[in-house]
Structure 1
């Protein structure tokens, strides 16, 4: 399918141009095509392609895939019941809490997941353009009139009505449109690799809250082990069979940057968990990424464009999770598009939607994440915390993005209160 699509001429016009075919962009394209819009989905890569990620799917992400029409896609994928948390000589197994979302998560490599959602968008009518990058825009009356696309044959314009920007953490097109990333709040650095394993069908995600380097020094981060199940030959290239995604992440701010050599830390962590997770080989496909988090960007929308997913820093500030937010913002952006005739300027409306859905949680989470960048804060909070089942249940709920505005229990009310207090003292609230 990809080779046939790649030979098609670049479209001259799109009602809706979606820039970036990751989970958020492809989900937006699928929703928009289903709603009857003429959609072009553009990506600089040729699929399938790899993406630095933990590959974990929270129950919130599972719910969004089901909403998209891909619920059965996960039937033969790992069913993850919760997190197995470790640290300071203690451990807790915490199931995903019941509530508005399914009681299980999953894990799928981004090489496979992104391609599956992209193919769904194409099947629903989106026109796919691969191997072409959006590099500039032509404006008319404050609106995007054309998006300039660069590919092997040079540059060409695509005239547009609306643009959904889903080109990832660096967001080149977003930057051209005025997007600015503010690093004074917490951001993430992370690295991941794949390893062969005899426990790739385990129903638990491993998470080590006490991360140490090869020299034994405590680091301001955490490690993860996510089981991917049996991987078919081809998607990951180097092997088939049981595979784990193993990774390490750290929090940082402009005042306290994370000076970490991620590769040796990741290799050390893989050795550390090797026996527990029946790892049978060395890590491969080691990649790293920098993550804006918690809505720490401004310029998320204009009269006829919106930034979604990672481009809008819709990433959990405590653990770097963003697939669920990407899928969700893709759907919300298309819902706003359907109001275009009534109110054609997205600038304030899209920012308000992001704030309404994520503002309180992002403000509270990134303030806590900022605290965790302070030396000794992690052991001070983590050592007693790992021994409390109720506190770890709260941690899993927050890290899994599983508290919603509709939740009325004590924990949810307390978390929203913390968000409101935090928002009042934010010198730059999320998405501002």
Structure 2
């Protein structure tokens, strides 16, 4: 397995004066967009404030949907020697149930790869396709004429430069500094996520199952409004993390670091942890399209910047790859993205996100999780349905009862919400 080390010494790449497409942010969404565009012959500059490889707070899990998207991008070889994850090992209320990934067009296999390694690999792949990579340069603002971006201001080593661009794709993550300067707003009245992640040495790092604990408890045994996970990375390490859902009315009040450390102790024997967790980081996650201002005449927000994150599990890598490909396709099919891009996002994800946001909002109520979880985990059928929904494995082509019911719930939620996704 490839080892990556942060802070590699390498000379900075020159900042070009102009480009057909400027992609701001070189995580999975931005790098995948750059790769798709470069492969189509577009002159692409891929820009990031960090110098790669760099870390990113994440659970590191790849659902079958994300795994399939990476194959579609052309990165099947990268995944060949990574863990092949068969499904989830769900725990709670004295029960444990292994649930294989339900049948779907995405296939039966997922994986887990550290974001330091994954993001650098996708970025390198984009460069191989012909993208021009600029690292250590931060986009801080834009110059606009008639509602169109003419150029983007970037700073590197305290020096400002302008990059003129015909089109701009913004993929600078959950905080989206450039998105804010373009008018992006995050609305916290729907569910959002808070999470902490760490790495621990484990003798089970080659497991074929992702661990998930639905019954998360604090050091004093109190039930907390969250969940825990252990994802095998196949290199002697596992990703150990905890997450919670919150809303503006019911913010998550638990201190994540001590909760994570207590959770690691709780799963130590189960996962054969041989050392305490290290590299603990935390993050705040806008989810379910809870943002407005995602597009303009010649720019689009994609991935985390557009809050394309599953409200039920905090997963967004699959949406990162999908929105990247869709945004590049839109470059060829539309001259103004102001209405076309939000309409595409609502068509693809609006109903699903609306239903998931409602469900996630219920899960912020302390009594909901034990009420549903205690009987639910003892039902193989119900848990398979939960994994199918939480794993983003439903598609518009599915016609079974569960799929129809979920879509109906989403359409209903979209109609009654005061602020539907991406508005």
Fold equivalence (TM over 0.5):
yes
> How far apart are the structure 2 equivalents of 1:281 and 1:213?
20
Query: Would you say the 8 A contact 2:99–2:384 is kept in 1?
Result: yes
Q: Does 1:369 align with 2:360?
A: yes
> How far apart are the structure 2 equivalents of 1:121 and 1:198?
34
Query: Where does residue 238 of structure 1 map in the other structure?
Result: none
Task: Give secondary structure in 2 for the equivalent of 1:318.
Answer: coil
Matching residue within 247, 251, 263 for 1:253: 247
Distance 1:14 1:351, change over 3 A: same
Tell me the CA shift for residue 5 of structure 1.
Answer: 7.1
Query: Where does residue 220 of structure 1 map in the other structure?
Result: 225
Query: Where does residue 358 of structure 1 map in the other structure?
Result: 349
> How far apart are the structure 1 equivalents of 2:9 and 2:399?
51
Tell me the CA shift for residue 19 of structure 1.
Answer: 0.3
Tell me the CA shift for residue 421 of structure 1.
Answer: 1.2
Tell me the CA shift for residue 72 of structure 1.
Answer: 1.8
Tell me the CA shift for residue 6 of structure 1.
Answer: 4.4
Query: Where does residue 117 of structure 2 map in the other structure?
Result: 112
Deviations 1:170-215 (A, max 9, x none): 0000000000000000000000000000000000000001111111
TM-score by length of 2: 0.97
Tell me the CA shift for residue 92 of structure 1.
Answer: 1.4
Q: Which runs of 5+ in 1 are unaligned?
A: 231-241
Deviations 1:123-177 (A, max 9, x none): 1110001001000000011100010001105111100010000000000000000
Residue pairs, 1:189-228, within 5 angstroms? 189-228=194-233
Structure 1 segments, 4+ long, off by >6 Å, are: 1-5
Query: Where does residue 431 of structure 1 map in the other structure?
Result: 422
Q: Which runs of 5+ in 2 are unaligned?
A: none
Task: Give secondary structure in 1 for the equivalent of 2:409.
Answer: helix
Query: Where does residue 28 of structure 2 map in the other structure?
Result: 23
Task: Give secondary structure in 2 for the equivalent of 1:347.
Answer: coil
Matching residue within 379, 404, 409 for 2:395: 404
**Structure 1, 50-59 or 406-415: larger mean CA deviation:** 406-415
> How far apart are the structure 2 equivalents of 1:187 and 1:307?
18
Q: CA RMSD in A?
A: 1.2
> How far apart are the structure 2 equivalents of 1:408 and 1:338?
32
Query: Where does residue 146 of structure 1 map in the other structure?
Result: 151
> How far apart are the structure 1 equivalents of 2:247 and 2:116?
30
Deviations 1:236-295 (A, max 9, x none): xxxxxx100000000000000000110000000000000010000011100000000000
Deviations 1:281-328 (A, max 9, x none): 011100000000000000010000000000000000011000111111
> How far apart are the structure 2 equivalents of 1:256 and 1:68?
39
Query: Would you say the 8 A contact 1:22–1:166 is kept in 2?
Result: yes
TM-score by length of 1: 0.95
Task: Give secondary structure in 2 for the equivalent of 1:72.
Answer: helix
Tell me the CA shift for residue 384 of structure 1.
Answer: 1.1
Query: Where does residue 274 of structure 1 map in the other structure?
Result: 268
Task: Give secondary structure in 1 for the equivalent of 2:231.
Answer: strand
Query: Would you say the 8 A contact 2:12–2:135 is kept in 1?
Result: no
Query: Would you say the 8 A contact 2:140–2:177 is kept in 1?
Result: yes
Q: Does 1:170 align with 2:175?
A: yes
Tell me the CA shift for residue 381 of structure 1.
Answer: 1.1
Distance 1:6 1:305, change over 3 A: farther
> How far apart are the structure 2 equivalents of 1:254 and 1:110?
29
Matching residue within 320, 327, 338 for 2:332: 338
The number of residue pairs the alignment matches comes to 418
